[in-house]
Amino acid sequence: MNTSTIAEESDRGLIRQLRAYYALTKPRVVWLIVFTALIGMFLATPGMVAPGVLIFGGLGIALVAGAAAAMNCLIEHKTDALMRRTQGRPLPSGILTAKQTMVFSCVIGGLGLWMLYRLVNPLTMWLTLATFVGYAVVYTVFLKPATPQNIVIGGAAGAMPPVLGWAAVTGEVTSDAMYLFLIIFAWTPPHFWSLALYRTEDYVRSGLPMLPVTHGKPYTRLQILLYTMVLFGCSMLPYVVRMSGLIYFVAAVALGAGYLWYAIALYRSYSDQLARRAFNYSLVYLSGLFAALLVDHYLR
């Protein structure tokens, strides 16, 4: 093997590791977190968000969210190895070690917290740290392996991003910020349980007490329908309290009707394909709802 070939192999190995570090952060999840956090920032002010708060607040929240995701991968790497959906992640596949993952999580998490404390405000840093602990420790270590209601209780951590964005701009948490929290809190169970329905066998192998495993698919489908109804009601709150106007109301009704259609269809006639479509729609729903809030905020 000549010097050129060795260099090429080394470059490929480095790129593979960099991709693995990126994968540890669960980038698609982080994108949704940052998106809702940024919407929270814009909704918190009648004008434009200060560039420093927008950049460093968004980046700090993204780094801490990525650190929490990496810590989740570290804690669950043995469970991930048992599930088809997750066995290709960097730790189960052997691309990265536990030590590398721990160092990476601490470095990017520490950098994100420092950024929020020094360049945004202390309240945002403390709330973001609490969110990290809620997801990486309370949910991952204690709730997920202990109760089928794990995603309901642990959903509080996932619902925090718009509150973090709001705090970054205003330095406080108001009732309007909590309405955004409630929307994501109600959205999380039907979103995640749709995934759990068509991945039930994975959870059986992992030993995790997910709702379809402990209570069966029919009961889970009923819970998805009930929580979707609750979500529809929560999505009306910004309009009811005059936080938003007609543009948001129309979008919320249309998006909510689509989500209810999926929930009713799942309840009446289940298939894995339908559950997958419902899961994908839930992502479109949340993104569309928060985008409508932003458009309404600046056009009404």
pLDDT for residue 244: 97
When pLDDT is averaged across residues 221-237 and rounded to a whole number, the result is: 98
Q: What is the pLDDT of residues 200-217, one digit of tens each?
A: 999 999 999 999 999 999
How far is 190 from 29, CA to CA, in rounded Å?
A: 16
Confidence of residue 12 (pLDDT cuts 50, 70, 90): confident
Q: What is the pLDDT of residues 68-90, one digit of tens each?
A: 999 999 999 999 999 999 999 99
Q: Kindly give the residue spans of alpha helices, DSSP state H, lying in the chain.
A: 3-24, 27-43, 51-52, 58-75, 77-80, 98-119, 122-133, 150-158, 161-170, 175-198, 200-206, 211-214, 217-235, 237-240, 246-268, 272-299
pLDDT for residue 14: 81
Confidence of residue 219 (pLDDT cuts 50, 70, 90): very high
Instruction: Give the domains, in start order, of the chain with CATH numbers.
Output: 1-173 (1.10.357.140), 175-300 (1.20.120)
Confidence of residue 7 (pLDDT cuts 50, 70, 90): low
Answer for the pair 264, 225: CB distance below 8 angstroms, yes or no: yes
- pLDDT over 90 for what percent of the chain? 93
Specify the pTM.
0.94
pLDDT for residue 62: 98
pLDDT for residue 210: 96
How far is 76 from 101, CA to CA, in rounded Å?
A: 12
pLDDT for residue 261: 98
- pLDDT over 70 for what percent of the chain? 96
Cα 21 to chain centroid distance, Å, stands at: 18
Answer for the pair 214, 148: CB distance below 8 angstroms, yes or no: yes
Dihedral sign from CA coordinates of 107, 113, 118, 120: positive
Mean pLDDT of the chain: 95
Q: What is the pLDDT of residues 270-294, one digit of tens each?
A: 999 999 999 999 999 999 999 999 9
Task: Give, in order, the Cα–Cα distances in Å from 16 to each of 12, 72, 135, 155, 259.
Answer: 6, 21, 27, 32, 38
**Among residues 255, 258, 257, 274, which one has the least CA distance to residue 266?**
274
Answer for the pair 41, 292: CB distance below 8 angstroms, yes or no: no
Instruction: Output the 3-class SS for 50-104.
Output: CHHHHHHHHHHHHHHHHHHHHHHHHHCHHHHCCCCCCCCCCCCCCCCCHHHHHHH
